[in-house]
Structure 1
Amino acid sequence: MSPDLHFILFLLLRMAIAATFVVTASIITERAGPVIGALVATLPISAGPSYVFLALDHDAAFIAQGALASLPINAATIFMCLTYVVLAQRYNLLVSCGSAVAVWIVLASIVRQFDWPLTAGLAANLIAFGICIPLLAGYRHVKMPLVTRRWYDVPMRAALVAMLVAIVVSTSGWVGPRISGIIALYPVVFSSIMVILHPRIGGPPTAAVLANSAWGLLGFGAAIAVLHVAVVSFGSSVGLCLALGTCVAWNFTLWCIGIASRRRSSSRLH
């Protein structure tokens, strides 16, 4: 088998694996409502496979540098969410989603101009989430209409993530760890939620999913920091496992807090 054919087949396999993750997460999100859907959406559904495949092709130092670039990008993503959530209350998909993506691109372009040490990346996240979480709180509680999935919804999400994985893997060798870390964190899942749900159920209910994702996205930022530190100390495999464990544990904790809060509210009513 020629090296080019081997690369193409291996790339297609990686894209298929990433797409499988998205299909599974999409089904869970649609059936569970905005709160659980937001927790699923903030798991590393697209970034996780991208980093796993980067780790297969590059050493631990590459992954550690990529994580440093990804950390401030997570702050850009919460500003993207805030932009969409606010605009979606009054405007159509083109204005709301287009403006949100434009904000992400501008912030990502600024991020790539600098070398971000771990402390600066953490500070950017704390400032960004400190601003955005209170502003998003008022948009979280919206009744979610019944969503009827169309035949192209899940394939479209799967294709978007598969394309992201293909871009990250095929370009990482010449763009370097910083650009790879930025591309790997493009919010494919959030973008697909906007594009699919907004025309169908309206802006406010779609915005509620993204508004509920703020705390989960904060935990995702913590997982990126864990990835950087753990990869440097223990290698890529352990670092990726610890980062995933951080995301899962954080979101599980948020879920438990939400259940406890609903029970307290219910007991007061009775």
Structure 2
Amino acid sequence: MSPDVAFIAVLILRMAITAAFVISASVITERSGPVIGALVATLPISAGPSYVFLAMDHDAAFIAQGALASLPINAATMFLGLTYIFLAQRNNVVVSLGCAVIVWFALAYIVQLIDWTLLGGLAVNAVTFAICLPLMARFRHAKMPLITRRWYDIPLRAALVATLVGAVVTLSATIGPTGSGMLALYPIVFTSLMLILHPRIGGPPTAAVIANAGWGLMGFGIAVAVMHVLALRHGSVIALSSALLICMTWNLGLWGWGRRKARYV
């Protein structure tokens, strides 16, 4: 097998594996409501496989630098969510999602102009969550209507995420660790959920999923920071495994806390 054919075969396999993650998460989200759906959506469904595949092609220093670039991008994703939540209450998906994506890319452009440190990345996340979480709070509760799945829903979601993974893996050698880290954290799962759910169930219920995801993104930001530190000290395998464990433990903790509060309401 020629090197080009082998590269294409491996790339297709990587894209297919990631698409499978998204299909599973999408089904769970639609059937479980905004709270559980948000916890699933903030697991590293897209960024996780992207980083795993990057680690297969690059050294630990590359992964550490990529994680450092991803940290402030996590804050940009919070503002994407906040923008969508406010606009989705009264606007269609084109306006709501379109403006949210523009906000994300504008912030991403600003982020890439700055030489970030770990402390700086943590600080911008702390400020972002202090601003966004209170503003999202009143939109977290909405009734989730019964969803009738259309034939193209799952293929579309899978194609979105697979395309992102393909772009990250293919472009990583050209755009470097900073560009790869930013591209890996483009909120493709959020985007696909907005794109598919909004036309079918309306803006407010879809916005409720995103509003509930705020606390999950906080755990994701912590995981990215830990990944940066551990990659430098212990290598990519330990860093990526620890980041995944943090995300899962954090979201399980949020789920348990929510159930506990529900008992006393």
TM range (shorter): over 0.9
Q: Report the equivalent of 2:193.
A: 193
Matched, 1:145 2:137: no
How far has the Cα of 1:6 moved from its partner? 0.6
- 1:72: Cα distance to partner? 0.1
Aligned equivalent of 1:48: 48
- TM-fit CA distance, 1:26: 1.0
Matched to 1:167, the amino acid is A
Alpha-carbon deviation of 1:34? 0.6
Between Structure 1 and Structure 2, how many residues are aligned?
265
Report deviation, 1:148: 1.3
Deviation at 1:151, TM superposition (A): 1.3
1:268 alignment partner in structure 2? none
Q: Which whole-Å CA distance do the structure 2 matches of 1:261 and 1:194 have between them?
A: 28
Answering whether residue 62 of structure 2 is matched by residue 62 of structure 1, we say yes
Q: Distance in 2 between matches of 1:216 and 1:148?
A: 27
1:100-139 paired onto structure 2 within 5 Å: 100-139=100-139
Per the TM alignment, residue 147 of structure 1 is displaced from its structure 2 partner at its CA by: 1.1
**Which residue of the partner structure matches residue 76 of structure 2?**
76
Partner of 2:225: 225
Q: Distance in 2 between matches of 1:149 and 1:234?
A: 44
Normalised by the length of structure 1, the TM-score is: 0.97
Give the match's secondary structure for 2:5. helix
Shift of the alpha carbon at 1:115? 1.4
CA distance in 2 between counterparts of 1:150 and 1:233 reads 47
- Aligned equivalents of 2:109 and 2:35: distance in 1? 31
Distance (whole Å) between structure 1 residues aligned to residue 66 and residue 225 of structure 2 = 11
1:29 and 2:15 equivalent?
no
Q: Aligned partners of 1:68 and 1:245: how far apart in 2?
A: 19
SS in structure 2 at match of 1:115: coil
Q: Deviations over 1:223-253 (max 9, x none)?
A: 1001101111110011000000000000000
Q: Deviations over 1:123-161 (max 9, x none)?
A: 010000100000000000111111111111111111111
Distance 2:24 2:44 in 1: 13
Q: Is the contact made by 2:81 and 2:211 (CA closer than 8 Å) also made in structure 1?
A: yes
| Secondary structure in structure 2 of the residue aligned to 1:144 | coil
TM-superposed deviation, 1:30 = 1.1
Tell me if structure 1 keeps the 8 A contact 2:84–2:96. yes
Q: CA deviation at 1:214?
A: 0.3
Distance 1:19 1:83 in 2: 26
Name the residue aligned to 1:255.
255
Whether the 8 Å contact between 2:26 and 2:193 is mirrored in structure 1 is no
- Could you tell me the percent identity over the aligned residues? 65
Q: Counterparts of 2:252 and 2:233 in 1: how far apart (Å)?
A: 26
Where in structure 1 are there 5+ consecutive unaligned residues?
A: 266-270
* 4+ aligned runs moved over 4 Å, structure 1: none
Give the Cα–Cα distance (whole angstroms) in 1 for the partners of residues 179 and 119 of structure 2: 19
The aligned runs of 1:206-225 (5 Å cut-off) are: 206-225=206-225
Between 241-250 and 226-235, report the one with greater CA deviation.
226-235
Tell me which residue corresponds to 1:97. 97
CA distance in 2, matches of 1:101, 1:14: 25
SS of alignment partner, residue 90 of structure 2: coil
